[in-house]
Structure 1
């Protein structure tokens, strides 16, 4: 449809293309000329395009072909060894891709989300990072997260980090609306549960390792139940202590308990030294008593056997046995004594005794 001149035909008003153009049938460039048809404009543009593209319609087809090839090639993507990729078709997850070179249908049909899955990430519970102009990043306590109630109804300030990484990128992106917030909430809840099952002393002294292990297991179990696609690597307790308001008093209690434990250790050491010693002495006494008992019993049994043998001989020849027993007894009695023999029948001119002891001394001196 040609443009119409809405003026009065005297050529004073310009048409939309500038000054008045030539009429379709030719003629001068005078005012009031009719503007060109849109078909003429398109035809003129095609003629100009053909000047730049030799071959006419084939050149246009070549441009279209190159554009199609480029569009198809835009679907090529690479997944690095530390990454996973998720292909989305109109926003819906369709495929989980592993490291390597892959292709997906170009945008807007499909898109791909590639994330690192071996990178370790850390979430802090009980503290938050703030930026200071003088000292850079500073950790500031978040008491609404760190203050927890123990089994013995004490309040403890626990600050810890949870180190994690992505296990399944598809689950990580589509199962949780806020993965970081979910991990933080689950970790805080689990830690509060385990702190509530323990007394304050092991929590701030020797029980940290066990608390970290138990918390890691339960956090992982909860996230697996959510299908979060996350692996918990470590739970690290940064600080566990009494609140600042009662910290000094609690330290005094700790020192008293330490002194008590020290005294118990000293007493246990003394007991460990003295009890074995006493047990050894008792064993020696028991062994001595057993030896004495065996010796006495054996002696008694021997004397009884000897008495029985003597009695048997005595029963066979009473006079002979009686005299032999008498002589043996006198021999035992007089063996270590000085002996003098007196003869009551000796005459008056003879010395009435025989000094055997003096004779024995002279004999020994002569030798």
Structure 2
């Protein structure tokens, strides 16, 4: 039965008036029968149950395939008839069902990694084994899916090429010494440049040389050379420590010697100046009274010479005896006075 019969003069809505004006609420059983009859006509007689099931499955499949829930750590690359259409953001998204649109999920939140071991030749023609590890993340899902055919394999080959370039341009000692960090940074920079050039949508997070060692065939000889290098470094450090201890002491001794020399110089100059002034004073007194000055100088000289001995010195055959007081510097246990018997100085000054 049609919804609108010709010649009725008005539009009839089976969902509101049950086919006739202002009647009671719609009869759902009648509606179901009409739908079943429509499906029977559509699928040819007795296939109504199968048709309803097929239509229900089709509707459910369309609803299920059109609603996509994307977690925060993933991105969806939507393809419309095989061509890139758009990216799905985290959350609930809608798309056309397959085969109109399909979607590829790409993990953009996790950190991926690859490991490899390569045998390579250094700049000084030594062979080394290098175990390296590369960690990376996907920053551009579109480039990651369409930039290269196999992004992981491409990354492994590019990483090996970058490591070979860096190791091949360095000496063995440089690779095995503390400069390994600089080499890893250089290899990481070179690898990232290659990945950007190929538009892989990959960003490196780490590139590490986990183990760098010589081949097993020459390991013993290399260990001996390495121990010799360590002994050399140890001796150099000990020499530096000894130099840092001895050099300040030597400088201190030199400064002390210079200070003593300067003091001795000042003392000798002052003493010489004092002797010169004293000589000038004696000269003045000698000019005023030559005889008295001569005799006084003679006696003072004898006192200085024999003032520290208890012996009697006779230069006059017992004619002249002078008794002088004991000098303060007399040896311990010596008492009395020091007697000097000396000839009277020549009046002529000889």
Q: Does TM, scored on the shorter chain, surpass 0.5?
A: yes
Equivalent position of 1:187 in the other structure: 159
For the pair 1:104 / 2:102, whether they are aligned, the reply is no
Q: CA distance change for structure 1 residues 106 and 294 in 2, over 3 Å: closer, same or farther?
A: farther
Equivalent position of 2:170 in the other structure: 198
Residues 250-290 of structure 1: CA deviation (Å, up to 9, x unaligned): 22322333334444444444444333333332222222222
SS of match in other structure, 2:46:
helix
Q: CA distance change for structure 1 residues 66 and 296 in 2, over 3 Å: closer, same or farther?
A: same
Shift of 1:224: 2.0
CA distance, structure 1, for counterparts of residue 43 and residue 62 of structure 2: 26
Residues 236-257 of structure 1: CA deviation (Å, up to 9, x unaligned): 3232111122222222322333
Equivalent position of 2:116 in the other structure: 125
Equivalent position of 1:241 in the other structure: 213
Equivalent position of 1:230 in the other structure: 202
Equivalent position of 1:276 in the other structure: 248
Shift of 1:174: 1.0
Residues 36-88 of structure 1: CA deviation (Å, up to 9, x unaligned): xxxxxx969644356x69xxxxx98x996995686256321111111112222
Most deviating of 267-276 and 110-119: 267-276
Alpha carbons 2:76, 2:103 under 8 Å: kept: yes
Paired residues in the alignment total 284
**1:79 equivalent among 70, 76, 92:** 70
Alpha carbons 1:76, 1:102 under 8 Å: kept: yes
Task: Output aligned runs, 1:82-93, within 5 Å.
Answer: 82-93=73-84
Equivalent position of 1:296 in the other structure: 268
SS of match in other structure, 2:128:
strand
Equivalent position of 1:48 in the other structure: 46
Stretches of structure 2 lacking an aligned partner (at least 5 in a row): 1-39, 313-317, 328-334, 338-350
TM-score, reference length from structure 1: 0.63
Shift of 1:329: 4.8
CA distance, structure 1, for counterparts of residue 336 and residue 176 of structure 2: 97
For the pair 1:357 / 2:324, whether they are aligned, the reply is yes
CA distance, structure 2, for counterparts of residue 187 and residue 228 of structure 1: 13
SS of match in other structure, 1:209:
helix
CA distance, structure 1, for counterparts of residue 148 and residue 276 of structure 2: 100
The Cα RMSD (Å) is: 4.1
CA distance, structure 1, for counterparts of residue 237 and residue 295 of structure 2: 72
TM-score, reference length from structure 2: 0.65
CA distance, structure 1, for counterparts of residue 218 and residue 73 of structure 2: 48
Alpha carbons 1:72, 1:105 under 8 Å: kept: no
Q: CA distance change for structure 1 residues 328 and 74 in 2, over 3 Å: closer, same or farther?
A: farther
Residues 310-362 of structure 1: CA deviation (Å, up to 9, x unaligned): 59x95xx9954878976885675355456x9xxxxxxxxxx986754379988
Residues 140-171 of structure 1: CA deviation (Å, up to 9, x unaligned): xxxxxx11111111111112121222122111
SS of match in other structure, 1:292:
helix
